[in-house]
Amino acid sequence: MRCNLTEHYTRSIIFFIFNFMTFNDLRLNPSLLKALSEEGYTTPTPIQQKAIPLVLERKDVLGCAQTGTGKTAAFALPIIQILDETRDQAKSKKSIRTLILTPTRELAIQIDDNFKAYGRHTDINHTVIFGGVKQQKQTNKLGRGTDVLIATPGRLLDLINQGFINLNEIEIFVLDEADRMLDMGFINDVRKIVRMLPKQRQTLFFSATMPEEIMSLANSILNNAVRVNVSRPSSSAPMISQSVCYVEKQDKNSFLITMLKTQDTKSTLIFTRTKHGADKLVKMLVRNGVFAEAIHGNKSQNARQQVLANFKSGKSAVLVATDIAARGIDVDGLSQVINLDIPNISETYIHRIGRTGRAGAVGKALSLCSSDEYKDWVNIEKLVGTPITVETVNTQEFVPMVKEVFSDRRPAHFSKGRSNTGRRTFGSRNKNTSNII
């Protein structure tokens, strides 16, 4: 979570340009302010500015927040403060007072890390539970009592059924990344868990996008909520420069190798649709001299953590991920995201590219679109709502293994069903100019 000084400096300048509020203006107590200053945070992000005062006033909040906007601190900071200040009101020393439900293990661990960092000068206890690992360590920790429980739905229900967890004393419930819960098929588990919570509670509901089903879930669990939008729903972070390159399927690997070998990029996250595809791509990259590792659901939790640690420390510059595994990936200063394939659910695109350009940092997102993916790409462009730059490539500069890459703006068979033609901007109109390598 700590980022290097240059990144902090860049973020601070960006935040400073857009607003002059400081964390002191948000009525946060000295122990939190001290932790924030140690983290190098100087200016609250827009979601933090809006949500922190509301949570401290004990309001329900419906947060429509872009990925990477600082949303975790927006709920974690006021929760720590509330729990700290009302410790003597807790029914028992062992009762769980806050539940944070989140779709993936990585995200759960990330949130737990945030609680550790922000609450380091308080006595707030936090525990994280998720599936895919033995439960004993988690149940031992739960046995000692925890103020905050961060959980994925499956393991939470499992441990509730075994009698290790009781949700009767929950005062604050946070549902994080609600739209992803829906995508991952967890929505019924979420409803089941909500039914076990006390009616009298504060609820904070966060989602990057607000499809109808998510709005109806929100309406059913929130009470007089204040809606907080840090941007219009379904838009992606403003600091991400997005582009698309039209490359046919059989050419994508060659294209990728050429690009990774010729550009000087610190960290690249590549998305593939399947776990098998991720493994295959890693093998291909390694064979061609690009060190890469994969993260996906078939890997053990320890292996996933190790791969992520290698990527975060810069040991590996390329990480290949599936959508589900990438959900919780939070790498400060991630340089670029590449979509090796175009997701068929448009919202997934927003989640993918949101891994870069986090909290005001500048990021790049490049999508490789083949002709059979073009329909999905049109839908993505509609959702994003702004023109996405079409990059052209100089095929002559490609390494010999590259067979054929579309070097022109759009191959003939793309012209059918073309969307917002008038609004499209081109990275370069020169056939022989490369903007991406």
Q: Does 333 bind ligand AMP (CB under 6 A)?
A: no
Cα–Cα distance between 247 and 376 in angstroms, integer?
Answer: 15
* Among the listed residues 28, 32, 41, 299, the single contact to ligand AMP using CB under 6 A: 41
Burial class (CB in 10 A: 0-12, 13-18, 19+), 185: exposed
Q: How far apart are CA 335 and CA 356, in angstroms?
A: 6
Q: Is 126 in the site for ligand AMP (CB under 6 A)?
A: no
Task: Please tell me whether residue 357 binds ligand AMP under the rule CB under 6 A.
Answer: no
- Among 73, 79, 193, 390, indicate the residue that binds ligand AMP (CB under 6 A): 73
Among 59, 358, 364, 410, binds ligand AMP (CB under 6 A): 358
| Burial class of 338 by CB neighbour count within 10 A (0 to 12, 13 to 18, 19+) | buried
Binding residue count for ligand AMP, defined by CB under 6 A: 17
Q: Which residues contact 21 (CB under 8 A, 6 or more apart)?
A: 43, 44, 49
203 contact partners, CB below 8 Å, separation of at least 6: 60, 61, 172, 173, 174, 175, 221, 222, 223, 225
Q: Minimal distance in Å, beta carbon 133 to ligand AMP?
A: 23
Report if residue 44 touches ligand AMP, rule: CB under 6 A. yes
173 binds ligand AMP (CB under 6 A): no
Stretch that binds ligand AMP, among 36-44, 86-94, 288-296, 390-398 (CB under 6 A): 36-44
Which amino acid does the sequence have at 381? E
Closest distance of CB 293 from ligand AMP, Å: 21
Among 251, 330, 341, 373, binds ligand AMP (CB under 6 A): 330
**Which residue, 358 or 410, is less far from ligand AMP as judged by CB?**
358
Question: With binding defined as CB under 6 A, does residue 353 bind ligand AMP?
Answer: no
Does residue 60 bind ligand AMP (CB under 6 A)? no
Spatial CB neighbours of 59, under 8 Å, sequence gap ≥ 6: 202, 224, 225, 226
Beta bridge partners of 128: 150
User: What is the number of other CB atoms lying within 10 angstroms of the CB of residue 18?
Assistant: 11
Residue nearer to ligand AMP on the CB measure, 12 or 262 = 12
When the beta carbons of 76 and 214 are compared against ligand AMP, the nearer one is: 76
User: In which residue are the tokens 């991406």 written?
Assistant: 436
235 part of the interface to ligand AMP, by CB under 6 A: no
| Residue 40 CB, nearest approach to ligand AMP (Å) | 7
Binding residue for ligand AMP, selected from 156, 221, 359, 390, defined by CB under 6 A: 359
Name the one range near ligand AMP by CB under 6 A: 66-74, 174-182, 279-287, 293-301: 66-74
Q: For residues 41 and 115, which CB has a smaller minimum distance to ligand AMP in the complex? A: 41
Token pair belonging to 303: 């292996």
Does residue 362 touch ligand AMP according to CB under 6 A?
A: no
Query: Interacting stretch for ligand AMP, rule CB under 6 A, among 39-47, 90-98, 334-342, 378-386?
Result: 39-47
Considering only the stretches 71-79, 276-284, 313-321, 341-349, report the one whose residues sit in contact with ligand AMP under the rule CB under 6 A: 71-79
| Beta carbon nearer to ligand AMP, 126 or 410 | 126
Is 231 buried (19+), middle (13-18) or exposed (0-12) by CB count in 10 A?
middle
The yes or no reply on residue 348 touching ligand AMP (CB under 6 A) is no
The residues in 4-33 that bind ligand AMP, with binding defined as CB under 6 A, are 11
Nearer to ligand AMP, 49 or 253 (CB): 49
Tokens (6 digits) for 310: 């290698």
Q: Which residues bind ligand AMP (CB under 6 A)?
A: 1, 11, 41, 43-45, 48, 68-73, 330, 332, 358-359
